[in-house]
Amino acid sequence: MLLFAGLGNPGAKYVNNRHNVGFMAADAIARRHGFSAWSKKFQGEVAEGKLGGEKVILLKPQTFMNLSGQSVGEAMRFYKLEPAALTVLYDELDLVAGKIRIKTGGGAGGHNGIRSIDAHVGKDYRRVRIGIGHPGVKEMVHGHVLGDFAKSDRQWLEPLLDALADNAVLLAEGDDNGFMNKASLAVQGAGSNGPAKPAPKAQSHIRQARPQQPTAKVPETGPMAAMLKKLLGKD
């Protein structure tokens, strides 16, 4: 048995927050693979199903992000699971938006939900880090994380969630590299199929010819004609 925990904050006001992308991932997996309806358990919401023949419990802690470990720890103890059976899906500031990276163990990286889980179950579990991008300055981080995804983000977010759900079996099988490759290709494909940008106007490297100036008419007789003939040696 495996436990997949998607992190986020409960309540309608947080539904579309970047911080809730873990909830979005869990919902996408449940829909794609016909998991049971969500029910309340372990201070969270749970759904049960199978991925590649492996029984999987999906968990969305309802304790608010900073106390996620309470819910995850309770579920781990109930099912008598070791940290190796746990996979946590959550938002990552330090990854470019749309990127996914997977690691086992390590630090919390400033993520309070991960810090809470570390305190309750240890650090030796798998983390699926879903990039939401960094706003650029520390003062803007709070608003960025708790802000809603922009409309333009849907161009990569929806294909990413679809790819995550489509390939969740790879996660259950422990094929982390295969899973990351599939997710990366999905986002790249979405980018290539997006609205075409107008091509920049080509800059010609050929200098346009200047309009020719009308040639002055040379008189055939008179003093000027005689002077020209003398200069040209035609006198």
Q: Where are the alpha helices (DSSP H) in 11-66?
A: 21-32
End-to-end CA distance of the chain: 113
Give yes or no for a contact between 120 and 75, defined as CB atoms under 8 angstroms apart. no
Establish whether 120 is a catalytic residue.
no
Dist CA 144 CA 139 (whole Å): 10
Q: Which entry of 19, 33, 142, 144 is annotated as an active-site residue?
A: 19
Beta partners for residue 56, in sequence order: 2, 49
Exposure letters 198-230 (e unless 16+ CB within 10 A, then b): eeeeeeeeeeeeeeeeeeeeeeeeeeeeeeeee
Q: List Cβ neighbours of 68 (8 Å cut-off, separation of 6 or more).
A: 5, 7, 61, 113, 114, 116, 117
Question: 80 is written with which tokens?
Answer: 């008598």
Please list the active-site residues. Answer: 19
